Structure 1
């Protein structure tokens, strides 16, 4: 009986891989080419996430610091804007593919929430852990280099998250089912 269960499990795994094509390809992480494709897709998805996060982070921190807000308020605005811009960068092309607004919002939430969350946590922890970075002011190299470093570390930390999501047919794999390239 266990032998039949193993065959059924193998069949379901194979079917799952076949049913979750990513970006027009069946990504089989058990092959060298499949791992390369998975890595490429994960880096692309993370770069997409980084774009929205960076726009939101920079804008939020610049507004908060320029207004003299406390660190917590500035960071909260930066995180909120990172989600707004991150989701927007997904929603717009999905809408262009013909999906209704409500469905496009659902796709963006499914595709980006985990990735943006990880990126924002890492980015802000790094920024806060660099002595004086958040207090340095907008006209200093310390602030801007710290922010660049924080975003770079967040990118590196988020790639494996996106690999895991794509491998499971989630994250940006959801987006690629809906928009045209």
Structure 2
């Protein structure tokens, strides 16, 4: 089935998704490391925007650790989903289908990334109490992203190789 940039309805979108997902799910070679790294970088971009914004807001407002992390994680999911949502909307999907694709594509990747990144921030001594002007704030945050990327990439490779995660987005590109 050829996918065009102008889908006319949810039924067509669902059929296209099913056709593509079935095709990828049966790929014997699985996903390449390059594809997995690109998917992870896409996810990391949204996570980083939300995470940095949330941490910066919480820190600037002198919030406690828990509300700051909750805001950072919520914004990471929001921005992570938004990047995929905007991309598949530009490809012609209706809003409802685009939301389903974004949720399917990014939920596990963002969750793993956030668990790792926030776990690292939580275990680095003093990182949770550092301020925006402290090198420790930025080094623990960016170091957490680097480790999260290394851990999330194999997860994305496994998922894409099984027609899940970012594989569902490729049906519309």
Which TM class, normalised by the smaller chain length? Answer: 0.7 to 0.9
Q: Alignment partner of 2:54: what SS?
A: helix
Q: Please, which runs of 5 or more residues in structure 1 have no aligned partner? A: 1-16
**Compared with structure 1, are the counterparts of its residues 18 and 144 closer, same or farther at alpha carbon in structure 2 (3 Å cutoff)?**
closer
- Distance in 1 of aligned mates of 2:136 and 2:58: 17
Counterpart for residue 70 of structure 2: 76
Q: How many residues are treated as equivalent by the alignment? A: 155
C-alpha displacement at 1:93, in angstroms? 1.1
Residue 11 (structure 1) aligns with: none
Residue 49 of structure 2 is aligned to residue 55 of structure 1: yes
Please give the TM-score of this superposition, normalised by the length of structure 1.
Answer: 0.81
Contact 2:21 2:163 in 1 (8 A): no
Equivalent position of 1:28 in the other structure: 28
User: Where do 4+ consecutive residues of structure 1 move more than 2 Å?
Assistant: 17-22, 26-29
- Residue 172 of structure 2 is aligned to residue 169 of structure 1: no
Deviations 1:120-161 (A, max 9, x none): 000000011000012121101111011110010011110111
Contact 2:105 2:169 in 1 (8 A): yes
2:127 to 113, 126, 133: 133
In structure 1, which of residues 71, 76, 87 is the aligned counterpart of residue 81 of structure 2? 87
Structure 2: runs of 5 or more not aligned: 1-19
Distance in 1 (CA, whole Å) between partners of 2:22 and 2:101 is 18
Q: RMSD value over aligned CA atoms?
A: 2.0
Secondary structure of 1:154 counterpart: helix
Identify the residue that residue 12 of structure 1 maps to in structure 2. Answer: none
Residue 19 (structure 1) shift: 4.1
- 1:99 aligns with 93
Query: Deviation of residue 18 (structure 1)?
Result: 9.9
